[in-house]
Every structure is written in structure tokens, then in C-alpha cells.
């Protein structure tokens, strides 16, 4: 029987629960493999071939290849494991977080310095806060992506 998950109604949030953990097990194991320099080199030399060594879903592989961290998280990725992909690409966690919002690194940094997103209008789906789906992506980087 499925558990009641009231947290599914929080906009812009994927809770890494037991279900997500099971779904993303191999994706997260792949990410952890990138802690070893030899594995990072093999991955960078032929990303698809390295991914094909892991029993991940095709959707997970496509999300990694696209470097779409939100997509990776929807398929079970945990942000702390996914950070290994960004590190392999030479990105800071701040750059990665910004990419997940459509913001540039500077826009994301400035938002966080100002206290982050307000909870007003962002507590439940259907409100009108800046984290709501109808307001995504945010920032200049997100606007440029659609151009």
C-alpha cells in the first residue's frame, strides 16, 4: 500500500524518500563511481559507453547526458550524489544549483545572499510564488535556454 505523501504538493521540490532511493539506486551508484579519477577519465572519454556499463534506465542515461539535474532528480537522483557529475565537469555546487533554476551563477548567488526564495506563495502547488511551475525557469540563463 502506498504511503500518504503530503510533501508531493511542494512546488519545485523532490523529496528523496525510500521510493526515490530505490528508483535512483544505479544512477546514484554511477555518480559515486566518479569519485575515482580513473572512472572520471573513462566517463569523459566516452560518456555513453561508460553509462552503458550501469544498469540505469535509458531515461536516467539521457538525463545525465543532457546534464539536466532536475530530470536526474525526477528519475531518482540525489543532489549530493549528482554533485559528482558537476564536479567532473568542473562546476561548483553553486553553478549546478543555479542551472536547476534557470538562473546564472550570479543570479542564484544574489538570491541566496538575500535570503533565498520566500515561502510566500510557494507552500503548495497552485499558489503564485516564484518557485511555482508557471514561473519556471527563472533568470537570464533560463530565458536564454528557450531562445
pLDDT of residue 112: 87
pLDDT of residue 130: 74
pLDDT of residue 122: 72
Q: Is residue 83 part of a domain?
A: yes
How many domains does one find in the chain? 1
Q: Is residue 145 part of a domain?
A: no
Cα dihedral: 60, 65, 69, 75 (round 10): -10
**Backbone dihedral angles phi then psi of residue 53, each to the nearest 5 degrees:** -75, -10
Q: Average pLDDT by consecutive 10-residue portion of the chain (147 residues)?
A: 72 83 96 98 98 98 96 94 96 89 86 84 75 72 57
pLDDT of residue 139: 66
CATH of the domain at 65: 1.10.700.10
The 3-state secondary structure of the chain, one letter per residue: CCCCCHHHHCCCCCCCCHHHHHHCHHHHHHHHHCCCHHHHHHHHHCHHHHHCCCCCCHHHHHHHHHCCHHHHHHCCCCHHHHHHHHHHCCCCHHHHHHHHHCCCHHHHHHHHHCCCCCCCCCCCCCCCCCCCHHHCCCHHHHHHHCC
Cα separation, 31 vs 6, in Å, equals 29
Q: Is residue 41 part of a domain?
A: yes
Q: Is residue 142 part of a domain?
A: no
Q: Is residue 126 part of a domain?
A: no
Q: Is residue 125 part of a domain?
A: no
Domain extent for 57? 18-88
pLDDT of residue 104: 85
Q: Is residue 22 part of a domain?
A: yes
Please state the length of the chain.
Answer: 147
Q: Is residue 11 part of a domain?
A: no
Amino acid at each position: 500500500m502506498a504511503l500518504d505523501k503530503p510533501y508531493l504538493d511542494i512546488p519545485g521540490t523532490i523529496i528523496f524518500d525510500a521510493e526515490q532511493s530505490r528508483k535512483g539506486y544505479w544512477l546514484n551508484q554511477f555518480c559515486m563511481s566518479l569519485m575515482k579519477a580513473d572512472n572520471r577519465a573513462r566517463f569523459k572519454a566516452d560518456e555513453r559507453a561508460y553509462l552503458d556499463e550501469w544498469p540505469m534506465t535509458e531515461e536516467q542515461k539521457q538525463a545525465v547526458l543532457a546534464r539536466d539535474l532536475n530530470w536526474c532528480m525526477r528519475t531518482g537522483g540525489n543532489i549530493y550524489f549528482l554533485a559528482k557529475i558537476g564536479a567532473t565537469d568542473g562546476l561548483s555546487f553553486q553553478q549546478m544549483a543555479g542551472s536547476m533554476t534557470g538562473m546564472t551563477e550570479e543570479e542564484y548567488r544574489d538570491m541566496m545572499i538575500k535570503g533565498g526564495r520566500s515561502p510566500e506563495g510557494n507552500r503548495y502547488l497552485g499558489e503564485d510564488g516564484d518557485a511555482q511551475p508557471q514561473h519556471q525557469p527563472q533568470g537570464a540563463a533560463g530565458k536564454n535556454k528557450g531562445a
